[in-house]
Amino acid sequence: MSSPTAGNTVLDSENTIAFMGAEGSNSDLACRQAAPYMSTLPCPSFEDVFEAVQSGKAALGIIPIENSQAGRVAEIHQLLPKTNLHIVGEYFQHIEHCLLAPKGATLAGVKEVYSHPQGLLQCRKHLREMKFSTHDYSSTAQAAADVARWNDKTKAAVASPLAGEIYGLQVLKEHLQDADDNMTVFIIIAREPVDPEPKVDTRVLTTLLFTVRNIPAALYKSLGGFATNGVNILKLESYIPGGASRDAAQFFLTCEGHPRQPGVKNALEELGFFCKKVTVLGVYTADTARFS
């Protein structure tokens, strides 16, 4: 198996974590914080992150699934079910956005601002107040890289402080995000599942995907087992897979507990009675930040 490369460095694939974006993105920062012992592998798209893990170029991948201010990252719900990968962990990252520009630029002189749509959404109020013209970009870090390359003092990027350091940009404004509690939840994916032992001091999560049968009140009935067995549902989202008919809505659910625990086991059995298909995407340890 050939080793992937980041820049000019050959990486050990079994000690590599892949992310979507360029060096200095928030996903890159999440990799460095969640797995500081691993090398990072930038990928141009979410599909490439999944492919890197599936093919063995990287042992792990890290993917954002939702932000406390901008909502869910919709692409992931379409991509994850199409793979044979497993969720093996989660990571909560506080997001710090800065306005970055070439050396010598001033806040008054900036006219155009570039960033990933999520970055722009998370700073929407401040950007509107400053009357900037905003432009969507593939990633926050790529926006910073191109602003540095253009060296145009009327153009700036919304990106992380790490991106500013990597690409030699100056910070025109710190704490650009509209909310101080701006948090992004990442999932960590791998080829093989993990099976954490439920303990008193360890909280385990189960994430699954299901499609209900086409019968009256199927969703209500399918979720009844979680209530009667005292299982806490932490996340429930519906979406229509691309090209599917409207009666084929799928549901993405995360609950607290392990499938071997009686309450979760009973809830999943009852769920199965009213579903066409139930797929467990991962059983993993919760980030301590989730319940702090």
Domain 98-173 falls under CATH 3.30.230.10: no
55 membership: H or E segment, kind and range? helix 46-55
Known catalytic residue at 254: no
pLDDT confidence bin for 75, thresholds 50/70/90: low
User: Which CATH number is correct for 204-290, 3.10.20.340, 1.10.3720.10, 3.40.50.10420, 3.30.70.260?
Assistant: 3.30.70.260
Residue 84: DSSP 8-state: S
Could you give the CA distance from residue 17 to residue 29 in angstroms, rounded to a whole number?
12
* Least confident stretch, 58-72, 144-158, 266-280: 58-72
- For 84-97, write each residue's pLDDT tens digit: 899 999 999 998 99
pTM over 0.95: no
Catalytic residue among 184, 206, 211, 254: 184
240 pLDDT more than 80: no
Band of residue 74 on the pLDDT scale cut at 50, 70, 90: low
Read off the pLDDT of each residue in 146-152 and give the average, rounded to a whole number: 97
pLDDT at position 181, please?
A: 82
Q: Where along the chain do its domains lie?
A: 13-94+183-190, 98-173, 204-290
Identify the top-confidence range among 7-16, 169-178, 231-240.
169-178
d(CA 64, CA 209): 17
Strands 112-115 and 133-136 turn out to be parallel
| Catalytic pick among 132, 186, 226, 251 | 186
Residue written as tokens 């191109």? 146
Average of pLDDT values for 100-122? 94
* CATH (one of 3.40.50.300, 3.60.20.10, 3.40.190.10, 3.40.50.150) for 13-94+183-190: 3.40.190.10
Q: What is the model's pLDDT at position 1? A: 41
Active site residue 134: no
Identical topology for domains 98-173 and 204-290? no
Residues 245-255 pLDDT 10s = 555 678 999 99
CA gyration radius for the chain? 21
